[in-house]
Structure 1
Amino acid sequence: MDWLGIGVFILAIGFAVLVAFIIPVLKKLTVTISKTADTVDQAEKSLAELTNETRLILYNTNETLMDVNDKIAKLDPIFDVVEDSGQAAHSVTSTIADFTEKRIERVKDGNKVVNKHHFKGLMKGVALIYYLREAKRKNKFKQEPVEVKLRNEVAK
């Protein structure tokens, strides 16, 4: 054999050894790629289910928010009435305080017994107590028919 044939023969043997080492690696690579494909398929299915659940949750959330907004819109007039009542009460108490302040200023006594700022606070406190008693009295009248009804039932 000549040198060229021997060189080709050595290259063929080296290539055969290389192929022998590469075959198990390629088999493991094939198994790994097939498992990866299965995992990707399962992930796609899970993602589709998750997307459907998320859409349902978002739809329910939007419905709930619309319901809450509707109910809050119905409460707005009540808050407006409460605000108007507070402003009216403030107006009344400040008017009373201003009136009494003017009366106190008319009295030109050398000894100022009452400080006008303290008197304003006192008048506002008196007005608050008055409003609280009125509210309590109104609630008492609302509760009395229930008590009378209960007394009549116990008496029977």
Structure 2
Amino acid sequence: MDWLGIGVFILSLGFAGLVLILIPVMKKLAETLGHTADTVETLNKSVGEVTGEATVILYNANETLVDVNDKISKFNPLFDIIHDTGKSAHHLTSTMVRYTSGKAKTAQAGTDFIDRNNLEGILRGAAFIYYLRQAKKEYDQQHKPV
């Protein structure tokens, strides 16, 4: 044998030893890859289940929103009525303010006239006479001959 043949023989023995050492490592690697495949398969099933549940939840949420929107739309006429009532009340109070402010000006003018002409005594006397007449009417009605 020449040196080249001896070198090739030593290399082949080293390669055979390396293969013998790597066999258990390769078995462990194959086992780990098998477990990894099982885990990925389980994960795919879990993701499928979660996706199905999420789809059901989203469907229910959409149905609930549609129901809420439908019920709120039924309240819209009520809100319109309340709005119209508020506008009407505002219009009525504005009209009353204009009316009473005009009457207040007239009353103030009458009060000023009475103050200028010193007619308070006459008005008080007229009010007293009116009171006496009303009291007499009530007394006569209570003591009517039967």
Q: TM-score range by the shorter chain?
A: 0.5 to 0.7
Aligned-pair distance for 1:103? 5.3
Q: Classify the secondary structure of the residue corresponding to 2:59.
A: helix
> Cα deviations across residues 36-84 of structure 1 (Å, max 9, x unaligned)?
1101111111122122212221222222112111111111111111111
Question: Which deviates more, 86-95 or 97-106?
Answer: 97-106
* Alignment match, 2:18: 18
Unmatched 5+ stretches in structure 1: 110-156
* Alignment match, 1:3: 3
2:93 corresponds to 1:98: no
Aligned-pair distance for 1:101? 4.2
2:3 corresponds to 1:32: no
> Cα deviations across residues 7-31 of structure 1 (Å, max 9, x unaligned)?
1012112212221232222111101
* Alignment match, 1:50: 50
Partner amino acid, structure 1, of 2:41: D
Partner amino acid, structure 2, of 1:9: F
Matched ranges for 1:1-156 at <5 A: 1-102=1-102
Pairwise CA RMSD: 2.2
CA gap of 1:106–1:38, structure 2 versus 1, over 3 A, is same
Aligned-pair distance for 1:3? 0.3
Partner amino acid, structure 2, of 1:20: L
Partner amino acid, structure 2, of 1:57: I
Moved over 4 A (4+): 101-109
Unmatched 5+ stretches in structure 2: 110-146
**RCO greater where, 1 or 2, for CA within 8 Å and sep 6 or more?**
1
Percent pairwise identity: 54
Q: State the alpha-carbon separation in 2 of the partners of residues 30 and 53 from structure 1.
A: 35
Which has the higher Rg, Structure 1 or Structure 2? Answer: 2
Q: State the alpha-carbon separation in 1 of the partners of residues 13 and 45 from structure 2.
A: 48
Aligned-pair distance for 1:99? 3.6
Q: State the alpha-carbon separation in 1 of the partners of residues 15 and 102 from structure 2.
A: 116
Question: Which deviates more, 81-90 or 95-104?
Answer: 95-104
* Alignment match, 1:141: none
